[in-house]
Amino acid sequence: MIEIKNLNKIYLKGKKNMVHALNNINLKIDDRETVAIIGESGAGKSTLLHIMSCIDNFDGEYYLDNIDINKLSESKKSKLRSSKIGIVLQDFALIDDFTVFENVMTPLYFNKKIKDKKGSVMRALKKTGIASLKSKKVSQLSGGQKQRVAISRALVTSPEYIFADEPTGSLDSKTSDEIIKMLFELNSNGITIVIVTHNLEIANQCHHIIEIKDGNIIKDICS
């Protein structure tokens, strides 16, 4: 479960060009939900997702499975990410000169708990339907295939949460539908999915919709 209380994010704090990106955010996300975070560009959606992913600092309270994130050191946050969290980005954030297998392997270099690393990579690739591409370099792949690699990488540590930032933003409609279907299938297997999206069709498929405007939550609706 995710619980956030009076969360603020300020960039360039104390300076003339200070930006208050998030203002007193309060929200709760239950286990196994699918959640859409919607709003215009610059509203604070990605900032909130990055905070929930434990890759950005903040003021306020954030509890992930009753763990007080603001009290964790950077090394403990890193361990938490490698054990509980998978992250999928719009631009894929893959290493083009690495193979599919090598890209999916990268989170496991920091995970001492998973002993069968090669087996974990292959299981993730099979779940996303790209095991046959394991030896291809990422630079040779289509956009949809790259996003499947990114999802495989997010899955390889068997996370409880996947945070996806515009996962279909650079994909055609057919490939977008395939990626969203895949994320919802992962949710049916017990993973909590949080998606930043501009696509209202995707948002309306989710259990929970959070709308942000100018750093404030203006709607928080659960179906």
Amino acid occupying residue 38? I
State the alpha helices, DSSP H only, in 71-142.
Answer: 74-84, 100-105, 117-127
Give the SS3 label for residue 215. coil
Mean pLDDT of 1-20: 92
Please give the Cα distance from 159 to 84 (Å, whole number): 4
φ, ψ of residue 77 in degrees (nearest 5): -65, -40
pLDDT band (50, 70, 90) for residue 82:
confident
Q: Please state, rounded to an integer, the average pLDDT across all residues of the chain.
A: 94
Neighbours of 152 (CB within 10 A): 28
| pLDDT score recorded for residue 185 | 94
| 118-145 confidence digits (pLDDT tens) | 999 999 999 999 999 999 999 999 999 9
* Domain at 30-57+74-222: CATH code: 3.40.50.300
**In this predicted model, what pLDDT tens digit does every residue of 189-221 receive, in sequence order?**
999 999 999 999 999 999 999 999 999 999 999
